[in-house]
């Protein structure tokens, strides 16, 4: 912070930070200067000219755009004098001469900046008697966005967003002068993961979102502020509904998280909430082996009875729980308490055999905050392609590298969305991560430049699993090395919406609520409240599935998880479910997993329950309800509470808010969390501290190579896949890339295949047919197959696959 300067705005002295744009200083001091092109999160361009004001200069008053004029000490500004007013009226008249007056049928009407500012600052009438400019209207520029060029006022917000923020400039100004228009390249649609942001920031109705067009009038909408649960960034959103139906999601500008932006998955991936496939009634498997609807009482009796039988026969440790990373902290806490105190098992995992050690994820020493990216000297990204799995985090890293001058090192088996901003990009063959790490540590050869970049502190490292062929130990070993870099902090990556909250609530074998480890004082305090904790150590996801397959685990309680589609080794999960003695599922849909359960309870979910979530940096945020759950659906915690009662245990849970209070009391680190404050003064969330102080351990990660005749498989997720939320969101479902095999051009040539040809990809656990995509960003010998695509079987967590024509 530098010394503030004094500026006189409309004869009133105000103080401001030097260099700040006048439009912002004025706004912060209650003087609104009209504008269209200026956006607080993008570089100013001064194009619309709406924000003209007059400043005093030695040569008399000078008309300037307040969005491009930095304040300086002693500056005198007039934003309302007659010449300013005339200029503003003039600009508005110019904007309106070619703008169609189709407000009655325009989605933007009622929340349209052009409409509002015309009323506040515009001339009463137009003197334009010529023919307006005409374009074909509206035209689809992608599956999700429609463009009406007649309404466009050429403020360049959308084009700047695409170039400056999301880095995929697929829409641009075309033509010149009075014929200027925004458009795509003729056959290259605006397929950006972030396209919806352009709709949100469009100051007129030029860009509209196909899923929302003509669905509601703004004044009929009901709003609530909440948090997105698709990825773990904790993006703040505004949920909007009409007649109890969720219709739209807008991004909120929350400084620590999404800063106004959303991915299209977050923005449009809510349609599943109102899907007709939602479960509306409990279901029980009948004598014929079919799931049929049942009453709550019947289903609870059935599940409680069967579970009780297993427990009394084989003990609580024969029961396991999977899931809980998709709900709230309160639901996760209830699940944890249910398993540990009513069932008596530590076998629980909210990760789907695709993550990292829970102690690393939520307990690492020197854990980074997202905001650390802003002041970073350099950034290391070695994990999933952030653009695919952590979209708003991707935007933050991009901004740090592009606008704030941080050096960026990206290590990944193929091209990523950040490569164009990376100082150094290292591509490698999956399985050889250990070698790559050794090279990085030595800092020789191709890694010399990377080490040079990473010598600029503070270093922020974002570490996770690049793909499922890679050992989770790699991220931990890398973390151990990174700690030797200057002022290093580490942000371990896991993607599911509330995976960090679920871990904090104890949904992993090793951790109890509040990041407490078994056998500690904190665990003892928990036992005082919960009763005796199960003594035997628990199993993680993979070992639970193996136990189910072998019969060591007899019963599974599933909460909002679909292991059959979601764990890398789908074949193992399927066998586990087939062999399981008893599966009790709490879900919103019949998934490939819950379809195999014995009892299914209909759960409420996103936009239907109130609670808290914890994001990737340990920030607790509020989620709120706007729409009722379908049919007889209930919150997870209530279902678990009733199920516990059938086992003869009173969990003592009466409401989500009461659960939250219980967490506050029990888990030291959650003491600062308060629901009321999270809705108001703490609406940007509260970071829960008190980390475990887990020190990552370096271990030599052995490099593995595929057997001869095989290719190394890079098996990783894409933003759109065949997860049930995507499958049940009609606007997004078609966007999944589908079954594909990306090959390096030399491998394609060797196999004699070209783009679009079909190949067979076969692993020990599965086989699929895929269309070839020529991908020069891969290393030769590597095949990339997107994970969990529609109608595609799982290849398993394997390293080598056979690829043949």
Partner 1 sequence: MSVRSIVTDRMTRHPSDSHTLDRYLGTGGYRALAKALEMPPDEVTGEVKAANLRGRGGAGFPCGVKWSFLAPAKPAYVVVNGDESEPGTFKDRQLMERDPHQMLEGTIITSYANGANHAFIYIRGEYPRSARRVQQAVEEAYAAGYLGSDILGSGYNLEVTVHLGAGAYICGEETGLLNSLEGRRGEPRLKPPYYPAAKGLYMQPTIVNNVETLANIPWIIENGGEAFAAIGPDGSRGTRLFSISGHVRRPGNYELVMGLTWRELIYDVAGGIPEDRALKCWIPGGASAPWFVPDDHLDLPVTLDDTAKAGSMLGSGAVVIMDETTCTVRATERLVRFFAHESCGQCTPCREGCSWLERILRRIEEGSGREVDVDMLLDISDNISPGLAWPPRMTTICPLGPSAVSPILAITSYFKDELMAHIHQGGCPFD
Partner 2 sequence: MVEIRSPSVRRGWSESVRARASEIVKQYPEPRSAVMPLLYLAMAEEGYLTDNGMREVAGAVGLTPAQVRAVASFYTMYKRENPGRYLISCCTSISCMLLGSDEVLRAIEDESDVTAGETDPAELISVEHVECIGACGGAPAVTVNYELIEGMTTEKARELVRWLRTARPEAIVGAECQELFGGRRSFDWGAFDRDSALGPYPAFGPLGTVSGPAGDQEG
Residues in touch with partner 2 (CB under 8 A): 140, 142-143, 146, 168-176, 183-189, 210, 420, 734
Q: What is the distance between the alpha carbons of residues 772 and 759, in angstroms, rounded to a whole number? A: 7
Nearer to partner 2, 29 or 180 (CB): 180
With CA atoms as reference, report the closest residue to 599 among 629, 570, 639, 637. Answer: 639
The answer to whether residues 122 and 213 touch, using CB atoms and an 8 Å cutoff, is no
The item of partner 1, partner 2, none sharing an interface with residue 95, based on CB under 5 to 8 Å by kind, is partner 1
The item of partner 2, partner 1, none sharing an interface with residue 188, based on CB under 5 to 8 Å by kind, is partner 2
Nearer to partner 2, 354 or 728 (CB): 728
Length of the chain: 805
The item of partner 1, partner 2, none sharing an interface with residue 535, based on CB under 5 to 8 Å by kind, is none
DSSP conformational letter for 79: S
Residue 57: exposure state from Cβ atoms within 10 A (0-12, 13-18, ≥19)? exposed
The item of partner 1, partner 2, none sharing an interface with residue 48, based on CB under 5 to 8 Å by kind, is partner 1
Q: CA quadruple 658, 662, 667, 668: dihedral positive or negative?
A: positive
The item of partner 2, partner 1, none sharing an interface with residue 98, based on CB under 5 to 8 Å by kind, is partner 1
In whole angstroms, the minimum distance from the beta carbon of 48 to partner 1 comes to 6
- Interacting residue ranges for partner 1, rule: CB under 8 A: 45-50, 52, 62-63, 68, 83, 86-87, 89-91, 93-95, 97-98, 127-128, 130, 153-154, 156, 173, 175-180
Nearer to partner 2, 174 or 550 (CB): 174
Nearer to partner 2, 107 or 710 (CB): 107
With CA atoms as reference, report the closest residue to 367 among 693, 685, 669, 686. Answer: 693
The item of partner 1, partner 2, none sharing an interface with residue 178, based on CB under 5 to 8 Å by kind, is partner 1
Nearer to partner 1, 154 or 585 (CB): 154
Q: What is the distance between the alpha carbons of residues 493 and 465, in angstroms, rounded to a whole number? A: 8
Q: Which residues pair with 619 in a beta bridge?
A: 687
Nearer to partner 1, 33 or 339 (CB): 33
In whole angstroms, the minimum distance from the beta carbon of 159 to partner 2 comes to 8
The item of partner 2, partner 1, none sharing an interface with residue 50, based on CB under 5 to 8 Å by kind, is partner 1
The item of partner 1, partner 2, none sharing an interface with residue 47, based on CB under 5 to 8 Å by kind, is partner 1
Nearer to partner 2, 414 or 465 (CB): 414
In whole angstroms, the minimum distance from the beta carbon of 13 to partner 1 comes to 24
The answer to whether residues 459 and 379 touch, using CB atoms and an 8 Å cutoff, is yes
With CA atoms as reference, report the closest residue to 797 among 610, 568, 617. Answer: 568
Three-point CA angle 765, 771, 776, nearest 5°: 100
In whole angstroms, the minimum distance from the beta carbon of 46 to partner 1 comes to 5
DSSP conformational letter for 313: H
- CA 634, 639, 642, 644: dihedral to nearest 10 degrees? -170
Q: In the numeric block, which tokens belong to residue 154? A: 């050429």
In whole angstroms, the minimum distance from the beta carbon of 143 to partner 2 comes to 5
Nearer to partner 1, 181 or 760 (CB): 181
Q: What are phi and psi of 586, to 5 degrees?
A: -115, 115
Nearer to partner 2, 173 or 223 (CB): 173
In whole angstroms, the minimum distance from the beta carbon of 89 to partner 1 comes to 8
In whole angstroms, the minimum distance from the beta carbon of 75 to partner 1 comes to 14
The answer to whether residues 584 and 556 touch, using CB atoms and an 8 Å cutoff, is yes
In whole angstroms, the minimum distance from the beta carbon of 102 to partner 2 comes to 20
The item of partner 2, partner 1, none sharing an interface with residue 734, based on CB under 5 to 8 Å by kind, is partner 2
DSSP conformational letter for 275: -
Residue with tokens 């193992």: 572
The item of partner 1, partner 2, none sharing an interface with residue 142, based on CB under 5 to 8 Å by kind, is partner 2
Element (H, E) at 311: helix 296-314
Q: Is the peptide bond before 799 cis (omega within 30 degrees of 0)?
A: no
The answer to whether residues 365 and 523 touch, using CB atoms and an 8 Å cutoff, is no
Nearer to partner 2, 183 or 232 (CB): 183
β strands within 295-429, DSSP E: 319-323, 348-349, 378-382, 407-412, 424-427
Nearer to partner 2, 139 or 654 (CB): 139
How far is the first Cα of the chain from the last one, in angstroms, to the nearest whole number? 63
In whole angstroms, the minimum distance from the beta carbon of 422 to partner 2 comes to 14
In whole angstroms, the minimum distance from the beta carbon of 25 to partner 2 comes to 33
Nearer to partner 1, 156 or 580 (CB): 156
Nearer to partner 2, 169 or 652 (CB): 169
Q: What is the distance between the alpha carbons of residues 59 and 77, in angstroms, rounded to a whole number? A: 14
In whole angstroms, the minimum distance from the beta carbon of 44 to partner 1 comes to 8
In whole angstroms, the minimum distance from the beta carbon of 717 to partner 1 comes to 36
The item of partner 2, partner 1, none sharing an interface with residue 238, based on CB under 5 to 8 Å by kind, is none
In whole angstroms, the minimum distance from the beta carbon of 93 to partner 1 comes to 7
**HSE, side-chain direction, 13 A CA sphere, residue 437:** 26
Q: In the numeric block, which tokens belong to residue 241? A: 């509904």
Q: What are phi and psi of 737, to 5 degrees?
A: -65, -20
Q: What is the distance between the alpha carbons of residues 711 and 770, in angstroms, rounded to a whole number? A: 15
**Which residues 6+ apart lie within 8 Å of 116 measured at CB?**
none
With CA atoms as reference, report the closest residue to 76 among 19, 13, 30. Answer: 13
């Amino acid at each position: 912070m530098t010394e503030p300067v004094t500026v006189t705005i409309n004869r009133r002295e105000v103080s401001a930070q030097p260099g700040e744009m006048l439009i912002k200083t004025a706004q912060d001091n209650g003087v609104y200067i009209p504008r269209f092109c200026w956006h607080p999160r993008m570089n100013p361009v001064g194009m619309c000219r709406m924000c003209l004001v007059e400043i005093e200069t030695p040569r008399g008053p000078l008309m300037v755009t307040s969005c491009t004029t930095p304040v300086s000490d002693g500056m005198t500004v007039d934003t309302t004098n007659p010449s300013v007013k005339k200029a503003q009226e003039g600009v508005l008249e110019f904007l309106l001469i070619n703008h169609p007056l189709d407000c009655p049928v325009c989605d933007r009407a009622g929340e349209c900046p052009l409409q509002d500012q015309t009323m506040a600052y515009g001339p009463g009438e137009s003197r334009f008697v010529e023919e307006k400019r005409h374009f074909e209207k509206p035209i689809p520029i992608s599956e999700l966005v429609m463009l009406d060029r007649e309404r466009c006022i050429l403020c360049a917000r959308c084009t700047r967003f695409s170039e400056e923020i999301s880095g995929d400039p697929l829409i641009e100004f075309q033509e010149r002068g009075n014929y200027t228009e925004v458009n795509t390249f003729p056959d290259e649609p605006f397929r950006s993961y972030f396209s919806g942001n352009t709709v949100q920031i469009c100051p007129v109705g030029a860009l509209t979102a196909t899923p929302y067009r003509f669905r509601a009038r703004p004044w009929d909408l009901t709003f609530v502020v909440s948090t997105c649960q698709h990825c773990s960034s904790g993006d703040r959103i505004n949920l909007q509904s009409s007649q109890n139906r969720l219709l739209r999601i807008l991004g909120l500008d929350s400084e620590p998280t999404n800063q106004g932006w959303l991915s299209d998955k977050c923005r449009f991936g809510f349609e599943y909430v109102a899907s007709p496939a939602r479960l509306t009634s409990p279901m029980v498997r009948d004598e014929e082996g079919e799931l049929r609807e049942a009453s709550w009482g019947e289903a609870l009796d059935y599940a409680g009875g069967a579970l009780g039988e297993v427990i009394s026969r084989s003990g609580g440790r024969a029961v396991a729980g999977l899931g809980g990373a998709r709900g709230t902290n309160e639901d996760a806490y209830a699940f944890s308490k249910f398993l540990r105190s009513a069932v008596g098992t530590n076998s629980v995992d909210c990760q789907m055999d695709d993550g990292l050690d829970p102690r690393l994820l939520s307990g690492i020493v020197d854990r980074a905050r997202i905001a650390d990216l802003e002041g970073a000297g350099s950034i290391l990204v070695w994990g999933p392609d952030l653009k695919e799995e952590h979209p708003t985090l991707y935007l933050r890293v991009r901004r740090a590298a592009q606008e704030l001058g941080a050096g960026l090192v990206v290590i990944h088996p193929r091209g990523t969305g950040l490569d164009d901003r990376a100082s150094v990009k290292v591509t490698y063959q999956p399985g050889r991560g250990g070698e790559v790490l050794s090279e990085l540590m030595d800092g020789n050869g191709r890694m010399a430049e990377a080490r040079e970049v990473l010598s600029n502190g503070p270093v922020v490292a974002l570490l996770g699993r690049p793909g499922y062929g890679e050992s989770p130990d790699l991220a931990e070993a890398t973390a151990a090395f990174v700690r030797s870099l200057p002022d290093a902090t580490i942000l371990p990556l896991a993607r599911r919406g509330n995976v960090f909250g679920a871990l904090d609530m104890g949904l992993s074998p090793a951790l109890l609520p509040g990041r407490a480890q078994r056998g500690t004082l904190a665990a003892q305090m928990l036992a005082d409240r919960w009763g005796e904790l199960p003594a035997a150590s628990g199993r993680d996801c993979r070992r639970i599935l193996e136990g189910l397959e072998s019969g060591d685990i007899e019963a599974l309680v599933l909460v909002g998880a679909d292991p059959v589609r979601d764990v890398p080794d789908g074949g193992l999960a399927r066998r586990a479910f087939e062999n399981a003695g008893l599966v009790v599922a709490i879900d919103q849909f019949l998934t490939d997993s819950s379809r195999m359960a014995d009892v299914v309870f209909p759960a409420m979910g996103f936009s239907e329950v109130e609670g808290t979530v914890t994001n990737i940096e340990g920030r607790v945020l509020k989620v709120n309800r706007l729409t009722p759950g379908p049919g007889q659906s209930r919150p997870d915690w209530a279902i678990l509470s009733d199920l516990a009662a059938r086992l003869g245990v009173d969990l003592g849970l009466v409401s989500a808010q009461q659960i939250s209070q219980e967490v506050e009391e029990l888990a030291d680190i959650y003491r600062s969390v308060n629901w009321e404050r999270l809705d108001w003064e703490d609406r940007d969330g509260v970071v829960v501290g008190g980390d475990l102080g887990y020190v990552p351990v370096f271990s030599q990660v052995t490099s593995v190579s595929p057997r001869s005749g095989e290719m190394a498989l890079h098996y990783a997720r894409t933003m759109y896949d065949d997860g049930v939320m995507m499958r049940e969101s009609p606007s997004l479902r078609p966007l999944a890339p589908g079954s594909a095999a990306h090959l390096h051009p030399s491998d394609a040539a060797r196999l004699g295949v070209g783009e679009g040809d079909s190949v067979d990809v076969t692993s020990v656990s599965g086989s699929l047919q895929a269309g070839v995509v020529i991908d020069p960003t891969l290393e030769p010998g590597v095949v990339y197959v997107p994970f969990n695509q529609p109608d595609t079987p799982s290849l398993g967590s394997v390293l080598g696959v056979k690829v043949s024509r």
